[in-house]
Amino acid sequence: MIPASQPNRSGDSFAASNYWQRLHPWCIIRLLPRMQRIVVQRFRYRSQAEDYLKALRRTFPNASHEIIFDPVSE
């Protein structure tokens, strides 16, 4: 799986990562067992997410990925 970047949760870097997430609300998630999910990547535009999803489905045909809109509230 292509790893998602994990933000550092301390001080200014948390505020910067929260701002970055607000600018990139479209997410590709991988569905896991027991109703769990993991964010694979975030995008600013849905069209970018759709293109990336096509590549993921070719690379990992047995994995279950979906596009969601995930607005981050403060």
What's residue 10's pLDDT?
A: 53
pLDDT (tens place) for every residue of the chain, 74 residues total:
444 555 445 556 767 777 767 788 999 999 999 999 999 999 999 999 999 999 999 999 999 999 999 887 65
Please give the Cα distance from 28 to 36 (Å, whole number). Answer: 14
What's residue 63's pLDDT?
A: 94
Quote the distance between the C-alpha of residue 1 and its chain's center.
12
Strand 26-32 relative to strand 36-43, pairing: antiparallel
Please give the Cα distance from 69 to 72 (Å, whole number). Answer: 10
Sheet strand arrangement including 36-43: 36-43, 26-32, 65-69
What's residue 1's pLDDT?
A: 44
What's residue 69's pLDDT?
A: 94
